[in-house]
Amino acid sequence: MNASLPAENQRLSRAVLRIDVTDHAGVMSHVVGLFSRRACNVEAILCLPAGDGRHSRIWLQVEDNPRLPAMIRQVEKLIDVQSVARCDAGIFERLSGLAAG
């Protein structure tokens, strides 16, 4: 049964979200918790400071499914979120290549 799991995972379409937030303790938990409560697995996370350090940019790689647009609308409603955009998955592909090499 486990032998089919990797093939199944490869068929899943992935989406990468770029989320700009006000940086403070707990903001990552709020964002990722929203996905967790809706049973959406966050497959990869990258977070870096942006600008003067009072803001951060979070990239999340998640499964692209029919519920994703609704989850994006919910993320946009979080008080510390300035913007959410879907973006190219290349950032995680490049990091994966660095980790492998």
Tens of pLDDT, residues 22-31:
999 999 999 9
DSSP, collapsed to helix, strand or coil, labels residue 1 as coil
Tens of pLDDT, residues 30-89:
999 999 999 888 999 999 999 888 999 999 999 999 999 999 999 999 999 999 999 987
Q: What is the pTM of this model?
A: 0.80
Residues ≥6 apart with Cβ < 8 Å to 48: 56, 57
What's the CATH code of the domain at 19? 3.30.70.260
What band does 4 get if pLDDT is binned at 50, 70 and 90?
A: very low
Q: Give the count of domains, the chain.
A: 1
What span, in angstroms and rounded, lies between the C-alpha atoms of 80 and 23? 8
Q: 73: domain range?
A: 4-100
